[in-house]
């Protein structure tokens, strides 16, 4: 066979099928640069196989439900239960049965850039996406647990077409649909992981917009969580309408300003 240059081999590799005779010839090539290229390719292929296996494991619950007759399975998750400011946001996502989203995981395990990229991929492939948002004032009225449940119910109501089964991350949704609550569901269900990304990115964008309205609080950096920077800003500037007055650090700051 022709003795290819390393650049030619690099261009050739993506075109080779699994049974192509070039592979045997390339494996015998003694050039270190060629062997390094093949080793890199082997590592990438192993990484892709491992990611595909991880994805198949993430579909365990969905496959069981498809086998039982469910057609549209919605994963439900939330973002923003713990912060001192901003809304709690829930998302409901119905993925198509043949979806494959490499890298999808619990949103807390992903970088902001990876979350944004997956957000776009989920939007492009999802059968339906629903968002539910409950404000800081409503959180104060109902408590954070009940506010989260209502945000999830809103997200489900906003799905079109509607689901016939719900997979929920560690909660139950107040609705009549059949559902299953999964502990750490955002790490064990593809549908819930997709919902966790949609909820997190949606809320982060909301908080970034609040940062423009209240730049002294640094919302775009801490997303409303009780960081030292945020607590110092509350003590210095007081609270905004976006702060959760029922949360102890905010309540204490209000008492100090009276």
Mention the CATH class of domain 60-209. alpha beta
Cβ neighbours for 115, distance < 8 A, ≥ 6 positions apart: 107, 197, 200, 201, 204
Q: How confident is the model at residue 3, as a pLDDT?
A: 75
Q: How confident is the model at residue 258, as a pLDDT?
A: 60
Residues 187-198: tens digit of each pLDDT: 999 999 999 999
Residues 221-241: tens digit of each pLDDT: 999 999 999 999 999 999 999
The SS3 call for residue 245 is coil
Do 89 and 247 form a contact (C-beta atoms < 8 A)?
no
Annotated domain spans of the chain: 6-57, 60-209, 210-256
Do 213 and 70 form a contact (C-beta atoms < 8 A)?
no
140 a known binding residue? no
56 a known binding residue? no
Q: Give the span between the Cα atoms of 37 and 40, in whole angstroms.
A: 5
Residue 214 dihedral angles phi and psi, to the nearest 5° = -130, 70
Q: How confident is the model at residue 2, as a pLDDT?
A: 61
Q: How confident is the model at residue 151, as a pLDDT?
A: 98
Q: Which residues of the chain have pLDDT under 50?
A: none
77 a known binding residue? yes
Check residue 86 and report its DSSP letter: S
Cβ neighbours for 179, distance < 8 A, ≥ 6 positions apart: 165, 166, 167, 168, 172, 173
The SS3 call for residue 4 is coil
């Amino acid at each position: 066979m022709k003795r290819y240059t390393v650049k030619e081999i690099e261009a050739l590799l993506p075109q080779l099928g699994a049974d192509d005779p070039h592979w045997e010839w390339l494996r015998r090539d003694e050039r270190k640069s060629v062997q390094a290229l093949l080793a890199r390719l082997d590592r990438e292929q192993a990484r892709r196989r491992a990611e595909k296996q991880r994805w198949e494991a993430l579909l365990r619950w969905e496959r069981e439900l498809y086998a039982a007759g469910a057609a549209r399975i919605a994963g439900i998750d939330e973002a923003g239960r713990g912060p001192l400011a901003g809304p709690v946001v829930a998302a409901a996502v119905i993925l198509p049965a043949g979806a494959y989203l490499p890298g999808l995981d619990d949103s807390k395990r992903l970088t902001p850039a990876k979350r944004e990229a997956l957000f776009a991929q989920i939007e492009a492939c999802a059968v339906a996406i629903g968002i539910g948002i409950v404000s800081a004032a409503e959180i104060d009225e109902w408590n954070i647990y009940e506010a989260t449940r209502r945000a999830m119910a809103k997200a489900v109501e906003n799905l079109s077409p509607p689901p016939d089964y719900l997979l929920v991350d560690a909660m139950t949704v107040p609705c009549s649909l059949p559902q299953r609550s999964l502990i750490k569901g955002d790490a064990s269900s593809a549908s819930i992981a997709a919902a966790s990304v949609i909820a997190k990115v949606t809320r982060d964008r909301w908080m970034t917009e609040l940062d423009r309205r209240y730049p002294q609080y640094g919302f775009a950096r801490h997303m409303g969580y009780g960081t030292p920077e945020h607590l110092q800003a509350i003590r210095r500037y007081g609270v905004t309408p976006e702060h959760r007055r029922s949360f102890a650090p905010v309540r204490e700051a209000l008492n100090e300003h009276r």
